[in-house]
Amino acid sequence: MPDLRIAKTNGVATAQKEGGAAEIDRLRADVEETRHRLGSSLAELERRVSVTAHWRRWADAHPLALVAIGLGAGFLIGRLGGVGRRPALR
């Protein structure tokens, strides 16, 4: 059976043979806590994505309003953009 003792390295305290079970339990608890935090972060990310994608549902429910917004934006860009302006006739 291999020697499972862990020594102190670079200021990191680790368990020796008799305290190894406590160290393993602590590490397992840390892993479980990290998994829980990652799960919470993932749930928050899914919520944010669904809120961000909400505009698609609005567009599906109001297609004429979306077309009107697009036409209005195109008109403003065309009027203010300066592309294709004709020189003034004198």
Domain membership of residue 89 (yes or no) is no
Same-domain pairing of 47 and 68: no
84 has a pLDDT exceeding 70 = no
Taking the model in full, what pTM does it have? 0.36
**Domains identified in the chain, total number:** 2
- Residue 73 corresponds to which tokens in the numbers above? 């934006």
Residue 61 burial (10 A CB sphere; 0-12, 13-18, 19+)? exposed
Cβ atoms < 10 Å from Cβ of 15: 19
Same-domain pairing of 41 and 63: no
Structural domain range at position 8: 1-52
pLDDT (tens digit per residue) in 10-67: 555 555 555 678 888 899 999 999 988 888 888 888 888 887 778 888 888 889 999 9
